A and B are shown apart, each in its own frame.
Chain A
Amino acid sequence: EVQLVESGGGLIQPGGSLRLSCAASGFTVSSNYMGWVRQAPGKGLEWVSVIYRGGGSYYADSVKGRFTVSRDNSKNTLYLEMDTLRAEDTAVYFCARMGSHRDGWDYRYYAVDVWGQGTTVTVSS
């Protein structure tokens, strides 16, 4: 069964650090585009970060320089290292596998096709 299970969320003070983990089963993390999406209380969905098959990455402007996405191929696990946390980072963080479709000879990564259940991060003193 294809599944993503997040862990690592919690209550953290402003300026602190936290590492989220996402254990995948039923598929190989390194063969896919993987990412993190968050939803702040009462707000919409927001892309946070994506790691590409080749290891490159994307970060939203709101987290650039503070968050780092990585993966451990031997554990088939995705991570999000979050530093210098702010109150506005408070959200449910979802791990995501991205689906693709053909665009000529290339592929476009168009949506999340597998979601984790989410882990809550609360930044507050």
Chain B
Amino acid sequence: DIQMTQSPSTLSASVGDRVTITCRASQSVSRWLTWYQHKPGKAPKVLIYEATTLESGVPSRFSGSGSGTEFTLTISSLQPDDFATYYCQQYNNYWTFGQGTKVEIK
């Protein structure tokens, strides 16, 4: 199975900050990568797929980049609603989640 590693595991930030989360794959997944946002007690929500494509209805402050083995999720200006756990997930060779990055209030 392909392993997905996110960094950092926890990130402390303030409203208005620019936030970047990194996801690395143990082998190339081409551009087949999805980012989710997960809040406690709610279903995870897709933010980005195919590494860079914004899911319909997702605010434009979210963006994704990368290909192959290294990917990033960027939130250009952190909003109060964005404090959550973020997961990457590859879908090039079956499906694998990263271990998650918790974005908490500084």
Residue B34, interface by CB 8 Å = yes
Interface size on A, residues (CB 8 A): 19
Further pairs besides A108-B50, A109-B91, A112-B46: 20, Cβ < 8 Å:
A43-B99, A44-B97, A44-B98, A44-B99, A44-B100, A45-B38, A45-B97, A45-B100, A47-B96, A58-B94, A58-B95, A60-B1, A61-B1, A108-B91, A111-B34, A111-B36, A111-B49, A112-B43, A112-B44, A113-B46
Could you list 13 A-B pairs, sorted by A, with CB under 8 Å?
Answer: A43-B99, A44-B85, A44-B87, A44-B99, A45-B97, A47-B94, A47-B95, A58-B94, A110-B34, A110-B91, A111-B91, A112-B46, A115-B43
Query: A72 interface residue, CB < 8 Å from B?
Result: no
The interface size of chain B toward A, counting residues with CB under 8 Å, comes to 22
Interface string of B63-106 (1 = CB under 8 A from A): 00000000000000000000001010101001111111000000
- A35 and B85 CA atoms in complex are apart in Å by 22
Interface set, chain A 95-125, CB cutoff 8 A to B: 99, 101, 108-113, 115
Q: Which residues of A contact B98 (CB under 8 A)?
A: 44
| Chain A interfacial positions (CB closer than 8 Å to B) | 35, 43-47, 50, 58, 60-61, 99, 101, 108-113, 115
Give the chain A neighbours of B1 by CB distance below 8 A: 60-61
**Which residue on chain A has the smallest CB distance to residue B35?**
A111
CB distance from B39 to the nearest CB of A (A): 12
**Contact A101 B97, beta carbon cutoff 8 Å:** no
Query: Which residues on A sit within 8 Å (CB–CB) of B87?
Result: 44-45
B99 near A110: Cβ-Cβ < 8 Å = no
Taking CB atoms, residues of chain A closer than 8 Å to B99 are 43-44
A111 proximity list for chain B (CB < 8 A): 34, 36, 46, 49, 89, 91
- Nearest Cβ in chain A — how far from B46, in angstroms? 5
Chain A residue at smallest Cβ distance from B98: A44
In the assembled complex, which residues on chain B have CB atoms less than 8 Å from the CB atom of A112? 43-44, 46
A60-B96 Cα distance, complex, nearest whole Å: 9
